[in-house]
Amino acid sequence: MTDTVRSLRSKLKRRQTTIGSWITLGSTAVAEIMARSGFDWLVVDMEHSAITLNIAQDLIRVIDLCGVPPLVRVGHNQPNLIKRVMDAGAHGVIVPMVNTRQEAEQAVRSVKYPPMGFRGVGLARAQKYGRDFENYRSWNQEHSVVIVQVEHIEAVRNLEEILSVPGVDGFIIGPYDLSGSLGIPGQFDHPELLEALSNIRTTASRLGALSGYHVIPPEASDMEAKLQEGYDFLAFSLDILYLGQACTQALNAVKIPEANHEA
């Protein structure tokens, strides 16, 4: 593991602000471009994409070799899936729909080896294909990252218990699903959602917890607003929106001669 990679969990523990992004396209070229763009970390999304484990390992490898910590958002809180992405070389996981203390404990224990966890021992890319298990075991216990997603009102109610689990490094809010759990999907200005977000910030501030938010639109003003609100683990948009917006902006900037319109 490089010093850059080792430093991510240290940054999170110090509540140092970091900015990452989301990868949903199974392209190593896209992963390399984003890894060389200055993000502090990148997430390979295996929940809402067609990315398979084989593709995820290739993306993890490219991100890692660029000196950026690769995280994986797993499809669900399933120990075997978490173990496999960690063995593939992920430096941590983002686990969706963690609504209780017990679910948070399962996520941590799936990442860590005994005695802290119950992850089984395998020899794959993370362990340098069997050449360096002991160093990896030591690194994993100290530096692997576990972020839980708060995306249901039940998680908001149980947030203090969830964040008190040893090994949970912080949380990231999934605004769409959180609004959906309240019966107001996508209504981000609705009073019920704003109240839930306020309760999350109050609890996180009281506990000194790392607070994350996924800002979906690739707009700097939206990111700046979340920074002002005190979030320090920020995901800034995702690959497909960057690509789509850049294409649209570039095309709209082209001035077509009026004569062509008339023709």
Q: Which residue reads 């008190």 in tokens?
A: 164
Could you give the CA distance from residue 240 to residue 216 in angstroms, rounded to a whole number? 11
Computed from CA positions of residues 241, 70, 235, 98, in that sequence, does the dihedral angle turn out positive or negative? positive
Pairing of strands 70-73, 233-238: unpaired
Between the CA of residue 239 and those of 27, 88, 101, 150, 209, what are the distances in Å? Answer: 10, 22, 32, 22, 28
CB 204 within 8 Å of CB 229: no
Based on the residue annotation, tell me whether 261 is a catalytic residue of this protein. Answer: no
Between the CA of residue 26 and those of 46, 57, 73, 92, what are the distances in Å? Answer: 10, 10, 14, 19
C-alpha count within 13 angstroms, C-beta hemisphere, residue 181: 18
Helices and strands in the chain: count of H runs, count of E runs: 13, 8
Residue type at 141?
Q
Q: Length of the chain, please?
A: 263
CB 213 within 8 Å of CB 147: no
From the candidates 48, 91, 190, 214, which is the catalytic residue? 48
CB 72 within 8 Å of CB 128: no
Residue 115's CB: how many other CB atoms inside 10 A?
A: 7
Residue type at 147?
I
Catalytic residues: 48
